[in-house]
Structure formats: structure tokens, C-alpha cells
Amino acid sequence: MTRITTFYPRRGRVSGRHEDALTRLWPRYGVDIAQPWTPLDQQSLFGRRAPLVLEIGSGMGDATAAMAAADPARDYLAVEVFPPGLGNLLAVVEEQDLPNVRVAQGDALHLVRHMLAEGSLDAVHVYFPDPWPKARHHKRRLIQPDTVALLRSRLAVGGVLHCATDWADYAEQMAEVLDADEHLVNLYDGYAPRPGHRPLTKFEQRGIAAGRQIFDLLYRRG
């Protein structure tokens, strides 16, 4: 059965800087999400086995880079389908000399399902996923019961699933789905204040400027 996709398959214009980064740096920092599925070897990929953070939908990668720079004890695997974003993050990784960042291109759920072992993640970040605002498209939203169960299974006990959105009705759906998972515990009484480790992005600033509230949800695997 064909799985419903949860993202727009955009391409966009790739600048010379981003094209250069993709060409030169992908062999060193890139991970292909493609069959035949190969289990992720963190030791080979990062040169160590540190706690691993999965970033789903890293956009242009500025927030990922900032978090990784401030958190050198953990490794960050950023997944994105948008080539300009991948190229930008690769360029920033080189410019800032961030050894704890790797990037993957493709469907994050394929990577989670086929390439990551159960209990292998310290955290999963899902920041501002496509809101699919039309009611008939809500089935395409990433945060659904089966997806949350999959993500939670890859978290180690004590690992954290952190979601953020600027769409109020999506925030309500997220909270309902996350609360219903008996193996997840909300770290706050309802929505969380924006944690200091999550940078304020340009995307988020545009949402605030448009009058939208930002909702953070942090849940720990019990």
C-alpha cells in the first residue's frame, strides 16, 4: 500500500554556494535515504557513539547548526527534502567546523523505519512541519498516532520528542495524539515555553509577526 506523504516535494533554486556545498561535502557529511536499506552505523558516520538527535525537516539548517554548535556532546542528524536547505546546512557545517552534524536527503520516516534501531535516539525534533491547513489534507500531517509510535520506538528510555508549530489547530492535534500515547510523558502541564536550546528562526519570527502563537510540546519516553 502506498503511504501518504507528509511533505511537499519542493525543489527550489539551488544557488552556486549551495550547489558547491552539495557537490563537495555530500560524500563526507551526507546520508542517502534509499533502498536497499542499510542500517545507520553511527560510529562510522560520526566517528563516535554519542547521544543522537534526529532533526526532521531541518529547513535551511540554521537552527540545527546553532543547536549542534551549542551541544557538542551530542550528534545531530538533520533530514530534509529541500536541496537548497541541504546545501546551506552543509556550507554552514564546513564554515563553522561542526563535526557533530550529518545531513540526510529524503523521507525521514523511511530513515526512521528502515535505518534506525529501536532505542537509538536521545531526542527527536519536529519543528514547524507542514501544517496542511485544509481539513481534507489533515491526514498528511506528520504527527499521527502511528507516526508517533514509530518515533517513540526509536527513542531511548528517557529520550525526548519535541514538536513545535505555529498553527493552533495542529498544536491541538499534536497534544491529543501525544497525550494518547501511554509510553510518553508530557514534561509540562500542557504546552511548554520555548526551551532555550531551540533557536528562534526566521520562519518562526515571520509567524510571530503575522500574529500566530508558537506552541512547543515536549514529551519523554517512559
pLDDT digits (tens, 9 = 90+) for 163-202: 999 999 999 999 999 999 999 999 999 999 999 999 998 8
Which CATH code of 3.40.50.880, 3.40.640.10, 3.40.50.150, 3.30.540.10 fits the domain covering 16-221?
3.40.50.150
pLDDT of residue 147: 97
Q: Is the distance from CB of 129 to CB of 142 less than 8 angstroms? A: yes
Catalytic residue status for 130: yes
Enumerate the domain spans of the chain: 16-221
Cβ atoms of residues 102 and 79 within 8 Å: no
Query: What is the pTM (predicted TM-score) of this model?
Result: 0.92
What's the grid cell of residue 203? Answer: 520562519
Catalytic residue from among 130, 179, 181, 216: 130
Q: Above 70 in pLDDT, residue 207?
A: yes
Positive/negative CA dihedral, 182, 50, 38, 2:
positive
